[in-house]
C-alpha cells in the first residue's frame, strides 16, 4: 500500500494555492525598504536611516478570541487583532514599525478561510504602517481539533536609542488615555465563559449590536496617533493596556519610586464592560486587572504639553497624574 503526504493529512497543493493568494495581499502593505518578496527562504528589509539606531521586536497572538471568531464564522478581522497586539506594544516603547511576519497553524488548510485571515492581517499592517514581508502556514493534522487554527505575529520596529520609551517619567506628569475600540484581544477566556453560562449575550447593546459580534470588534491600532506624538517628542511613557489590564501594564512605564493616580470618575466605561461586570458579578479589582475598560493606551506627558497632545490626538482623555509612590501599589485609583 502506498501512502503519500496528502493521505497523511497535508495537502501541498492547497498550501501552494494559499501562498499564491497571500502574495498580492502582502504586496499591498510593502514599502520601498522591502528588498525581497514572499516566496524566498527569508525576507530582507533595509534599515531606515536614523541616529543611534536600535531595533525593537515584539510577538503576540490573539488568544481565545479565535474561538469566538470560529463560533461566529467571522475570520476577516481577527488578523487586524493579531497585528494590533504586536504593533501597539512596539509603539508603547517608542518604536516606528517596520515589518511583520505571521504564523498560522491549522489541522487542515482551508484556502478561503486562510485567505480571509491573511486579508485581515494585511489590513492591520496597513493601519500599523508595517510591511507584511513573510510568514508561515502550517497544516498539522492531529495537532488541532478539526476546523481550528492558531495565530502568532512577529514585528520589528526601530527608534533612536535616546528616545526609546519610557524616559523622563516624573511626578507631576499627566496621564492621558486613548480610547479603545472595545475589549480588544484580552480576557476572552472569561468572556466566553460568561457568554456560555450567563445571559450576557441575550440582549443587544443599546446601539443595537449583538453582544458577541461587538466582542469581535478589531483592536484599535494606535500607529497614527502614537507616530505623531513620537515625532513631536511629546511622550515620557506609554502603556499598552493588554493582558493584566491597568494593574499590570501601567507600572511597566513607571520608575520604582512613582505611582499612577487614576481618577476613576474621569471616564465612563463603555456599555460592553458594564455588561461583562454585571454578568459575572466581577469585582472592581478583577475588572481593572483583566480588561482595558475603554482605554487601550495610557500616556505619560508633561503637564505643559497636554494641550499640544490633544491638538494631535483629540480623543485623548485626562485620566490621572503621576505621583510619588508611597508604600503600596504602583496604580492607585481615586474612586470618590
Domain edges within the chain: 12-163, 174-334
**Architecture (CATH level 2) of domain 12-163:** 2-Layer Sandwich (3.30)
Closest CA to 48 of 159, 165, 163, 161: 159
Report the 10 Å Cβ neighbour count for 173: 24
Q: Do domains 12-163 and 174-334 have the same CATH topology?
A: no
Q: Alpha helices, DSSP H only, in 129-244?
A: 188-197, 211-215, 223-231
Q: How far is it, in rounded angstroms, from Cα 29 to Cα 158?
A: 18
* Per-residue model confidence as pLDDT tens digits over 218-246: 999 999 999 999 999 999 999 999 999 99
What CATH class is the domain 174-334? alpha beta
DSSP 40: S
How many Å apart are CA 185 and CA 128, to the nearest integer?
A: 16
pTM here?
0.95
pLDDT digits (tens, 9 = 90+) for 271-316: 999 999 999 999 999 999 999 999 999 999 999 999 999 999 999 9
Res 128: pLDDT: 98
Give the list of residues 6+ apart from residue 73 with CB closer than 8 angstroms, or none.
Answer: none
Q: Is the pLDDT of residue 10 over 90?
A: no
Amino acid at each position: 500500500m502506498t501512502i503519500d503526504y496528502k493521505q497523511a493529512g497535508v495537502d501541498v497543493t492547497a498550501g501552494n494555492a494559499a501562498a499564491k493568494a497571500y502574495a498580492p495581499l502582502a504586496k499591498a502593505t510593502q514599502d520601498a525598504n522591502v528588498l525581497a518578496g514572499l516566496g524566498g527562504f527569508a525576507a530582507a528589509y533595509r534599515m531606515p536611516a536614523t541616529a543611534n539606531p536600535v531595533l525593537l521586536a515584539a510577538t503576540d497572538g490573539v488568544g481565545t478570541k479565535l474561538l469566538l471568531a470560529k463560533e461566529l464564522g467571522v475570520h476577516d478581522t481577527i488578523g487586524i487583532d493579531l497585528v494590533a497586539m504586536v504593533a501597539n506594544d512596539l509603539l508603547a516603547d517608542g518604536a516606528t514599525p517596520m515589518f511583520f511576519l505571521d504564523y498560522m497553524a491549522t489541522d487542515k488548510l482551508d484556502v478561503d478561510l486562510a485567505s480571509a485571515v491573511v486579508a485581515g492581517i494585511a489590513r492591520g499592517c496597513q493601519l500599523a504602517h508595517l510591511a507584511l514581508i513573510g510568514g508561515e502556514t502550517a497544516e498539522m493534522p492531529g495537532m488541532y481539533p478539526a476546523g481550528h487554527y492558531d495565530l502568532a505575529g512577529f514585528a520589528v520596529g526601530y527608534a533612536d536609542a535616546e528616545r526609546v520609551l519610557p524616559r523622563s517619567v516624573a511626578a507631576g506628569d499627566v496621564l492621558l488615555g486613548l480610547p479603545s475600540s472595545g475589549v480588544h484581544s484580552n480576557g476572552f477566556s472569561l468572556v466566553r465563559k460568561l457568554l456560555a453560562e450567563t445571559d450576557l449575550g441575550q440582549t443587544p447593546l443599546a446601539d443595537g449590536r449583538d453582544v458577541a459580534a461587538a466582542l469581535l470588534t478589531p483592536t484599535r491600532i494606535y500607529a497614527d496617533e502614537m507616530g505623531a506624538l513620537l515625532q513631536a517628542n511629546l511622550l515620557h511613557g506609554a502603556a499598552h493596556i493588554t493582558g493584566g489590564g491597568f494593574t499590570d501594564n501601567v507600572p511597566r512605564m513607571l520608575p520604582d519610586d512613582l505611582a499612577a493616580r487614576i481618577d476613576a470618575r474621569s471616564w465612563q466605561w463603555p456599555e460592553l464592560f458594564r455588561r461583562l461586570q454585571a454578568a459575572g458579578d466581577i469585582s472592581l479589582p478583577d475588572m481593572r486587572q483583566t480588561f482595558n475598560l475603554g482605554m487601550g493606551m495610557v500616556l505619560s506627558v508633561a503637564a505643559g504639553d497636554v494641550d499640544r497632545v490633544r491638538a494631535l490626538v483629540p480623543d485623548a482623555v485626562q485620566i490621572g497624574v503621576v505621583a510619588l509612590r508611597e508604600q503600596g501599589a504602583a496604580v492607585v485609583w481615586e474612586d470618590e
